[in-house]
Structure 1
Amino acid sequence: MSTTKQGNTPQMIANNLTPAYPTHPGEILKDEIEYRGISQRKLAEQMGLTYSVLNEILNARRPMTEKTALLFEAALGIDAEPLMRLQLKYNMQTTRKDETFMERLAQVRKIAAAL
């Protein structure tokens, strides 16, 4: 990723932008399910999930796993791998916004640089 630094905030260079808010794969799937007119309860039943688990994924309160991505692929015909890449990007962007973890990471970098 090409960035320039101003203070502690990386500034993005054109065509290499990070969205202000990460997109959870459940948000995309929720829109798709609504567009297709599919009931969440019916889809959950078809996938062998509880309604609450499916709803938590669709509302970004639960992560997409490899198994759930494959279940969505089977049920909706949406490739699992792009869903998992989206989940990874979501996880990474969310983690980078965790100030406590980023402070810890900075400390590890300082120690590693001294080795």
Structure 2
Amino acid sequence: MSAKKTFSPDMVANNITPAYPTHPGEVLKDEIEFRGISQRQLAKDMGIAYSALNEILNARRPVTEKTALLFEAALGVNAEPLLRMQMRYNIQVIRKDSSFMERLAKIRKAAAAF
């Protein structure tokens, strides 16, 4: 006798939400370390402050459209996936904000009444 398997949408491989969101800076940091590029040299090449680059690489500052294009020019890493990763990171962080999620629930409830 085989047991019936049920799958939730969270179990589908492409729909799994990681427990901790990945900031694109973490990926970029690994990339520049792998290539042996110093953060100071990369910042200079990109024309941005070292502190700004360091904050991005340590997930304390977001990757913007401009910085994504600068990374693309300096490293050959496509800008669009970096921006998608930043957007997913931002949304996942916001979804962990319980007061904001309560606010969304109230809005959804009010909108359902229309």
Structure 2, unmatched stretches of 5+, are 1-6
Return the letter of the residue paired with 1:98.
Answer: D
CA deviation map 1:40-82 (0-9, x unaligned): 0110011010011000000000000000000000000100011
After the TM superposition, which segments of 4 or more aligned residues of structure 1 sit over 4 Å from their partners? none
Comparing both structures, which one devotes a greater share of its residues to strand? 1
Return the letter of the residue paired with 2:25.
Answer: G
- Find the counterpart in structure 1 of residue 43 from structure 2: 44
Comparing both structures, which one devotes a greater share of its residues to helix? 2
Show the 5 A alignment for 1:80-95: 80-95=79-94
Show the 5 A alignment for 1:22-61: 22-61=21-60
Is 1:70–2:69 an aligned residue pair? yes
- Find the counterpart in structure 2 of residue 100 from structure 1: 99
Structure 1, unmatched stretches of 5+, are 5-10
Q: Secondary structure at the match of 1:57?
A: helix
Q: Secondary structure at the match of 1:27?
A: helix
RMSD: 1.3
- Find 1:14's aligned residue among 12, 26, 34: 12
CA distance in 2, matches of 1:112, 1:74: 44
Q: Which of these two proteins has the greater Rg computed from alpha carbons?
A: 2
- Find the counterpart in structure 2 of residue 114 from structure 1: 113
TM-score (norm 1): 0.88
Instruction: Give the number of aligned pairs.
Output: 107
How far the C-alpha of 1:114 sits from its partner, in A, is 1.4
- Percent sequence identity is 70
How far the C-alpha of 1:12 sits from its partner, in A, is 1.4
CA distance in 2, matches of 1:14, 1:34: 33
TM-score (norm 2): 0.89
